[in-house]
Amino acid sequence: MGVAIEGPDDGRVVVNGVGLHGLRAPDGPLYLGNSGTSMRLLSGLLAGQSFDVTLTGDASLSGRPMKRVTSPLSDMGARIESTVDDTAPLTIHGGQQLHGIKYAMPVASAQVKSSLLLAGLYADGRTCVSEPAPTRDHTERMLRGMGYPVAHEDGWVCLDGGHDLHGIDIDVPADISSAAFFLVGASIAPGSDLVLQHVGMNPTRTGVIDILRMMGAHIEVDNERDVGGEPVADLHVQFASLAGIEIPPELVPLAIDEFPVIFIAAACAEGRTVLSGAAELRVKESDRIQVMADGLCALGVAAEATPDGMIIDGGAIDGGTIDSHGDHRIAMAFAMAALRAHGEIEIRDCANVNTSFPGFVELAANAGLAIENV
């Protein structure tokens, strides 16, 4: 769409911005692979452009619900075509005049919130979004960092269209969702002692640490600091005996992407772990409730899927074969389960691990996990 990007070069990327109205029509559909975040956020950004564009994805992404973003965007004046099942491909028609709306999200979703705020950059008037529970706020922080005024008003996140964005230097910390696999791995593997450096500690993302600590995990937060508007720290984690818990509902949206590996921690814990209020997990890259329950049961763990969560009784983990259903977080979670398994675990359909964690296998092997691509 006309944006020149230099790099990556030694961890550095330079994006030469073209301004809010400088994007141009791509030569064809934009293929987004397995990334639901990309499809939902780009839907908001592209709703305010002057050209048409079609967003496509792989089979998994093409089965994920998009009405949660296309419906409120349509309320703003966007014109978006989808399948009869409200899934991708999405064709976003340009040249529409958007107007601000006040939208109360029925389900907490940072992707929906961010999509509407990005559309709001192009809308007449004020766009306000409320959420039933706090979700990650990286988009609001980034917009403010680029000089765009964003307000919080009695539980609403609001912005007015018509302001400008300005380029800034950005330090991207290590992703806590990726760190979560190693937090759990070190917690369940006897003798482990691991330091994860420069991890993003945004308070809307640290639910996994709170949950693991409630289970008895030994996680220390060191060298806390603020970098580019985001809090970061080093995490020191050691092996600990875990105990099953009832996961507090207020922590669910703060750990929604980390539950596959939290389920592995629960399988290694003494006693019962109960999760509820997490129906959102059923519409991720896979039905993460059912797929994780099936995988745990295949390894001999007592796991029961419920409509909005899981009941897991910790115990021994056997070897076996796992179908990840192309879900990167499922694959990486069961890789960590191998640390406590009594036999080999084979995980199938893992190509999408590169969606969020390129180099995972090599890093895990360097940390001591006996893992290989076959």
| 166 within some domain | no
pLDDT in tens, 67-111: 999 999 999 999 999 999 999 999 999 999 999 999 999 988 899
Domain boundary among 135, 160, 185: 160
Quote the pLDDT of residue 73. Answer: 98
User: Does 264 map to a domain?
Assistant: yes
Whichever domain contains 139, its CATH number is: 3.65.10.10
| 349: in domain | yes
Q: What is the pLDDT of residue 347?
A: 97
Q: Do residues 237 and 312 share a domain?
A: yes
Tokens found for residue 33: 């692979």
178, 192 in Cβ contact below 8 A?
no
Cα–Cα dist 310/356, whole Å: 24
Task: Assess if residue 373 is contained within a domain.
Answer: no
Which band of pLDDT confidence, cut at 50, 70 and 90, is reported for residue 134? confident
- Residue 113's pLDDT band (cuts 50, 70, 90): very high
- Find the range with the poorest average confidence among 13-17, 135-139, 213-217, 257-261: 135-139
Check residues 133 and 58 and name the one with the higher pLDDT: 58
Q: Is residue 169 part of a domain?
A: no
- Domain assignment present for 256: yes
Average pLDDT of the chain? 95
> What is the pLDDT, as a whole number, of residue 44?
98
State the distance between the two ends of the chain, measured CA to CA, in whole angstroms: 37
- 223 in the same domain as 156: no
Q: Give me the percent of the chain exceeding a pLDDT of 70.
A: 100
> Residue 135 — very low, low, confident or very high, per pLDDT cuts 50/70/90?
confident
- 58 lies in the same domain as 148: yes
Give whole-number Cα distances, 267 to 193, 312, 350, in Å: 21, 6, 22
Do 248 and 344 lie in one domain? The reply is yes
Q: How far does CA 31 lie from the centroid of its chain?
A: 19
Q: Check whether residue 221 and residue 303 sit in a common domain.
A: yes
Classify each residue of 82-96 as buried b or exposed e, where b means 16 or more C-beta atoms within 10 Å of its C-beta.
beeebbbbbebebeb
Q: Report pLDDT digits (tens) over 16-26.
A: 999 999 999 99
Range of the domain at 333: 176-366
One-letter amino acid at 56 equals T
Residue that has been written with the tokens 């048409």 in this structure: 52
| Catalytic member of 160, 257, 323, 327 | 257
Task: Check whether residue 225 and residue 152 sit in a common domain.
Answer: no
Cα–Cα distance between 355 and 342 in angstroms, integer? Answer: 29
Same domain, 135 and 258: no
Full 3-state SS string of the chain: CCCEEEEEECCEEEEECCCCCCCCCCCCCEECCCCHHHHHHHHHHHCCCCCCEEEECCCCHHHCCCHHHHHHHHHCCCEEECCCCCCCCEEEECCCCCECCEEECCCCCHHHHHHHHHHHCCCECEEEEECCCCCCCHHHHHHHHCCCCCEEECCEEEEECCCCCCCCCCCCCECHHHHHHHHHHHHHCCCCEEEEEEEECCCCCCHHHHHHHHCCCEEEEEEEEEECCEEEEEEEEECCCCECCECCHHHCCCCHHHHHHHHHHHHCCECEEEECCCHHHHHCCCCHHHHHHHHHHHCCCEEEEECCEEEEECCCECCEEEECCCCHHHHHHHHHHCCCECCCEEEECCHHHHHCCCCHHHHHHHCCCCCCCC
Q: Are residues 67 and 199 in the same domain?
A: no
Residues 182 and 145 both lie in one domain: no
Query: Is residue 25 a part of any domain in this protein?
Result: yes
User: 113 and 143 share a domain?
Assistant: yes
The residue out of 134, 160, 186 marking a domain boundary is 160
**Residue 369 confidence (pLDDT):** 94
pLDDT reading at 65 higher than 90: no
User: Is residue 38, in this structure, part of any structural domain at all?
Assistant: yes
Closest by CA position to 256, among listed 104, 37, 88, 12: 37
Q: Which of 136, 101, 105 is nearest to 122 (CA)?
A: 101
pLDDT given for residue 161 in this prediction: 97
Whether the per-residue pLDDT at 228 is higher than 80: the answer is no
Which of 138, 71, 132 is CA-nearest to residue 107? 132
Number of domains within the chain: 2
Order the strands of the 53-56 sheet from edge to edge. Answer: 30-31, 53-56, 90-93, 79-81
Dump pLDDT digits (tens) for 315-368: 999 999 999 999 999 999 999 999 999 999 999 999 889 888 999 999 999 999
Residue 374: per-residue pLDDT: 82
* 82 and 182 inside one domain: no
Return the minimum-mean-pLDDT range out of 46-60, 89-103, 204-218, 351-365: 351-365
What lies within 8 Å, CB to CB, of 244 at 6+ separation is 215, 266, 269, 270, 271, 272, 273, 274, 312, 313, 314
Catalytic residue status for 85:
no
State whether 139 and 184 are in the same domain.
no
